[in-house]
Structure 1
């Protein structure tokens, strides 16, 4: 029985399913979930991430990590953690760049958090010849806090789903996934009768808001980790830096948007990162936060333009390709502004690279 059929049967028995529960099932169902069985990342897959656009991205993140370590006092031991490492490209590039600081590599305990078995295998292959061999853990709370932690989470928040609520002329309703008489999945509204935290910003009738307990929980857990261990967590993702309405649920197949209800488990499903909610949860958990900035600005502050020039000097025949990669990562019409970067850190005295106060 297909995942669609199993979901339809479950909904028929128990009632409409929240968007968050639907996305979680489509991505992580052990039998048919997208990430559990068939993640397709890269130019020939369903979507591409920044590390796959150019080696410059991972290299700069690697140098960022080294700089954080130095600002922490260059401790003899440090845990480098990546959540959702994809196929391992980012970490492979980061570790290569970190060879400029051999003492850092001697200090590192590399940990990867990845729920997808196929992606863990890809990461192991990618990092087989790296200077440091990783170990995998299942969750943030499995990371020891006896030494400082430096964490990278690139395009993780968009995999943590949100429930959707719609303001109607008669009040608020939740958007859920139901099933038709013919067994097809469809969207519908369920009137809210219980407690519901209304947004503190203006929402017009017909507009949708998204609330992700998983994203907020991730921010809380990151804060607890860096507060207990000291260190910094870097988050980069596409999403909103200010609270506001919007339906951002989308399915992706071969780099094209598709109906999220089409072929559950066969396509990637994403929703925007809600940076305000994530950072608010981190503050409430006692950590420090930076502001959000566009990915383009962040990478420029880390020196991506200088790195591009160096690469073009060594490979003048690839100059046009490098320029296109640079534009893809930093251009306002590409990934430069929709994608945001921010950090959660502790102690307060730590100045996070790229987020220095210009004053």
Structure 2
């Protein structure tokens, strides 16, 4: 049993079963034993590899997409260039390199990283130098905002509900045999326990998830963009209005039981992009159709960039292109959503939602 597992078991013995979102929050962000508080999880020596760690091309495409949106909106200066959950700072470093070729953009950019982990903040400063950090997206300045969130929303704590013979019940973490952690079910606590779309009728055995924090974060971002201009890119694995059990753990690049090693494995769930889109639209932003990462990167010209790098002697460029865009790799599992200021053109690589385009 890990040190954090013992803490969680003691809390359950004292207060009863623990909601899944509370369990995830402790596992990821406990100040002493939390996953992100104690380690660098990225790359071959960690537990998983993100797109920016695979190739500089990913960050270059993101940077150029944000640069085009900035130009399309009249090159506002100053503006906030932000990233949610920036990992080692690799993506932002590649974005900053890409935008140096855009006259005036780097000088106008005020770089802000939203990061909860003190350990990762130190790593990001080593990568990027003296940059500003915030604890929460709601603290971002009221100013033009150009932002990326790559593999951020998948790490936000979720709740799960299962339809049984007596109706909906919430999945919780409880104590199983020999005091080990186990999943159980608890009665749904009133009508306000989850959004109506989650607790709508369903066949027995169906599991639905929702992320309580995701909507408010998107609302805060889209509200700033609607008021001051800008564009946000959300890149993550997931789908549109999906259902099912996607709660998962990754440790040493291998899947494992999410209850097996609390604090020592990355815990995530697939992102449901539909409520993110509706939250952005309700806050006054325009919203894109969801694109796969592969098709979006190819529309931006990543294949041509890979060919140029390969011709210049980069032996890994074409393999990286395949990993980032191929359907059997990251190309289809990962999706991209954009929301932006209503007066502005559609960002590069996207199409607007049909009903959004009608009232633009």
Question: What TM bracket, shorter-length normalisation?
Answer: over 0.9
Maintained 8 Å contact 1:239/1:339: yes
Aligned: 1:336 with 2:331: yes
TM-score where L is the length of structure 2:
0.93
Equivalent position to 2:149, from 143, 146, 153: 153
Aligned to 1:255: 253
**CA 1:291/1:181 → structure 2, altered by over 3 Å: closer, same or farther?**
same
Aligned: 1:8 with 2:6: no
Maintained 8 Å contact 1:215/1:273: no
**CA 1:66/1:193 → structure 2, altered by over 3 Å: closer, same or farther?**
closer
Q: Which string of whole-angstrom CA distances, capped at 9 and with x for unpartnered residues, describes residues 216-248 of structure 1?
A: 22221221221232111110000112x132100
Matches of 2:32 and 2:339, distance apart in 1? 35
SS of structure 2 residue aligned to 1:220: helix
Aligned: 1:180 with 2:179: no
Aligned to 1:136: 133
Matches of 2:35 and 2:198, distance apart in 1? 32
TM-score where L is the length of structure 1:
0.93
Gaps of 5+ in 1: none
Maintained 8 Å contact 1:176/1:189: yes
**CA 1:345/1:327 → structure 2, altered by over 3 Å: closer, same or farther?**
same
SS of structure 2 residue aligned to 1:74: coil
Q: Which string of whole-angstrom CA distances, capped at 9 and with x for unpartnered residues, describes residues 88-140 of structure 1?
A: 11111111111211411111111111111111111111113xxxx42112222
Matches of 2:199 and 2:177, distance apart in 1? 38
SS of structure 2 residue aligned to 1:351: coil
The total of aligned residue pairs comes to 350
Aligned to 1:239: 238
Equivalent position to 1:163, from 148, 151, 159: 159
Maintained 8 Å contact 1:157/1:215: yes
Matches of 1:184 and 1:255, distance apart in 2? 24
Stretch deviating more after TM superposition (282-291 or 166-175): 282-291
